[in-house]
Structure 1
Amino acid sequence: MNEQYPVLPGAEPFYAENGPAGVLLVHGFTGTPHSMRPLAEAYAKAGYTVCLPRLKGHGTHYEDMERTTFRDWIDSVEEGYEWLKERCGTIFVTGLSMGGTLTLYMAERYPSIRGIVLINPAIDIPAIRAGLAAGDELPRYLDSIGSDLKNPDVKELAYEKTPTASLLQLARLMEQVKGELERVACPILIFVSNEDHVVPPENADIIFRGVRSSDKEIVRLKNSYHVATLDHDQPLVIERSLRFFAKHSK
């Protein structure tokens, strides 16, 4: 699938080749690597080999996204995983929102992943299910879901419209991943904002209960909305995730 539009400035992928432990970072639905860039740079500075891909159909134009399927998004993440596997013996995955859904997918499929970090992960969004059940009544494009940030001085680089066809793909991805949560056995750290206007915070509890992992923890974020990676709690997310990697790299 060829994308018709150029990549938006700031939406480029990020790679850093450092030590033998690697981190794959996955951005969210309609978003771009921009939302995960501060984490990627912090992980690289800490000595990790880092791969932050741009998901297919993202970071260009919402018409590109409309033509992609959730399999295309999985392909993008798996390509990043293969890039890391060639360079690292230990691999962690960190995902925001739908990036968290895709991170869970990877943990379900690749038991060699050492641990995963989820940030406001999406697994069940009733509003999407209700909207899609309405069927033909929905317009082709809905409003943007980007930039749900408590910090008024920060803006997320995301699409200004959300293709309804892409929401259907997201719903299918969440349904598939939710149905196989018990396959996740690796250590898991979940960050969840107390107030989130995109993904219900209860998603974190559904995941926490559903995975088989014995080493699992939820960290509640009190000062961020959905895009916590760019919000007030960003330093906490970076510090706690680096601690998690260090603990499980041994």
Structure 2
Amino acid sequence: MQLLPGADPFTHDGSATGVLLCHGFTGSPQSLRPWAEHLAAAGHTVRLPLLPGHGTRWQDMQHTGWQDWYAEVDRELRALRRRCERVFVCGLSMGGALALRLAARHGEAVVGLALVNPALTFPRLQGYALSVLRHLVPSTRGLVSDIAMPGREEVGYPRVPLRAAHSLRALLALVREELPRVTQPLLLMHSRVDHVVPPRDSALVRAVVGSAEVRELVLEASFHVATLDNDAQRIFQETDAFMTRLATRKTARDGT
């Protein structure tokens, strides 16, 4: 199956610090590629996979669900752990939810998390309707390219497959239950204005996670896909500084 332009995965082998980046629902690696390239240029080992059912045609998502998306990032995390001394996980939107689940389930194997506009809730009425509509209607209008910067576009699907949306709803409910098990240091970055994920989702993350160290940054000049927007460079620089600080601390503690 032919990939959409820019939807191919990104891989870079660098230092003993590994970074896994998780893209969002109906999106692709293109939305996180500048973030991944910045971290690779800083010398880190980087993995940015394409989630199953993404990056081709929206119809392909109808045959996948959250278990498939999570299995892909879980596999990549395990591979990074075998190669690197320390591993960080980053995520945008649904990718943030996947990152939180990885942190909850892998514990100390994940050194820290950097999240941008993480998704945790699903609109209540739409969620109830999905149980029926997914059997009657294949898709609805898409969610891509919520970007404030003129001329910037996100590569993703123009339609949301309802079967996949129903699976996303189940994933978010599961992740909400697991939030107290997330104890890693957290860099939480969220846009003041977001037309896809409400800011209260980030507030929920901060309120419920078990992390003792949470740094919160409000992105004033970007919408949902902030990694392609006006605050992108700030996101990249803050992530690198966050990771460098924690990696140095871990190295000193381990005596390596």
TM-score (norm. length: structure 1): 0.95
Q: Which runs of 5+ in 1 are unaligned?
A: none
Q: Which runs of 5+ in 2 are unaligned?
A: 249-256
Match of 1:54, SS? coil
Match of 1:131, SS? helix
Corresponding residue of 2:206: 208
Please report how far the alpha carbon of residue 132 of structure 1 lies from its aligned counterpart in structure 2 after TM superposition: 2.8
Quick one: which of 80, 87, 92 aligns to 1:91? 87
Quick one: which of 113, 117, 122 aligns to 1:120? 117
Q: Output aligned runs, 1:163-182, within 5 Å.
A: 163-182=161-180
Q: Output aligned runs, 1:20-169, within 5 Å.
A: 20-111=16-107, 112-125=109-122, 127=123, 129-134=124-129, 135-137=131-133, 139-169=137-167
Please report how far the alpha carbon of residue 137 of structure 1 lies from its aligned counterpart in structure 2 after TM superposition: 4.7
* Residues 146-197 of structure 1: per-residue CA shift (max 9 Å, x gap): 0000012100000010001111111000000001100000000110000000
- 8 A contact 2:5–2:155 mirrored in 1: no
* Residues 46-77 of structure 1: per-residue CA shift (max 9 Å, x gap): 01000000000000111111110100000110
CA distance in 2, matches of 1:235, 1:10: 20
TM-score (norm. length: structure 2): 0.93
Matched, 1:247 2:245: yes
Which residue identity does 2:138 align to in structure 1? R
Corresponding residue of 1:222: 220
Please report how far the alpha carbon of residue 79 of structure 1 lies from its aligned counterpart in structure 2 after TM superposition: 1.7
CA distance in 2, matches of 1:133, 1:110: 32
Which residue identity does 2:162 align to in structure 1? T
Q: Structure 1 or 2: larger helix share? A: 2
Question: Following superposition, which runs of at least 4 residues in structure 1 exceed 4 angstroms of deviation?
Answer: none
Which residue identity does 2:33 align to in structure 1? R
- Percent identity (aligned): 39
CA distance in 2, matches of 1:120, 1:213: 18
* Residues 118-167 of structure 1: per-residue CA shift (max 9 Å, x gap): 10000113x2x311312435632110100000012100000010001111
CA distance in 2, matches of 1:172, 1:187: 26
- 8 A contact 2:133–2:162 mirrored in 1: no
Report the aligned-residue RMSD.
1.0
Quick one: which of 195, 204, 212 aligns to 1:197? 195
Match of 1:199, SS? coil
Count, aligned residues: 244
CA distance in 1, matches of 2:17, 2:132: 48
CA distance in 1, matches of 2:49, 2:170: 22
Please report how far the alpha carbon of residue 80 of structure 1 lies from its aligned counterpart in structure 2 after TM superposition: 1.2
